Amino acid sequence: MDRAERSDWRRFVPDVIFDAVREIMADIFSVPAETVVSTSSPESIDKWDSMSHLNLVLSLEQGFGVAFTPDEIPELISVQTICEKVKQKQALIAR
């Protein structure tokens, strides 16, 4: 991971979350994990359509033991947003 990849938001998201999100997305979208970056989105990943988005959400929920509300699901459209939401959800669980 280069310095540009480790932008300000990354200081607040543990590597374990970022790496796991990358692996989940690589699996769902059939792309190499190293091509999944913080700005990856439906615009930059060809296979990211509505069906694969639902598969992504389900895999994230299972992988991290969290649940997203129906209002949150459409917001999960970049690696950065996904990582931030997962971290928030895990913090709520830890309380």
Q: Which CATH number belongs to the domain containing residue 24 in this structure?
A: 1.10.1200.10
Q: What mean pLDDT do residues 68-80 have?
A: 96
Distance (Å, rounded) from C-alpha 34 to C-alpha 36?
5
Q: What is the pLDDT of residue 7?
A: 56
Q: Which segment of 1-5, 45-49, 74-78 scores lowest on mean pLDDT?
A: 1-5
Mean pLDDT of the chain: 89
In this prediction, residue 6 carries a pLDDT of 47
Tokens of 63: 């992988």
Instruction: Provide CB contacts within 8 A for 55, sequence distance 6+.
Output: 28
For residue 43, being part of any structural domain is answered with: yes
H-helix segments, 1-95: 15-29, 50-64, 79-94
Amino acid at 74: P
Is 37 a member of any domain? Answer: yes
Q: Is the pLDDT of residue 76 over 90?
A: yes
Domain count for the chain: 1
Model confidence band, residue 22 (pLDDT cutoffs 50, 70, 90): very high
Name the residue among 25, 34, 75 with its Cα closest to residue 55.
25
Full domain range(s) for residue 61: 10-94
Asked, for residue 86, whether it belongs to a domain, the answer is yes
Q: Is the dihedral of CA 39, 84, 51, 65 positive or negative?
A: positive
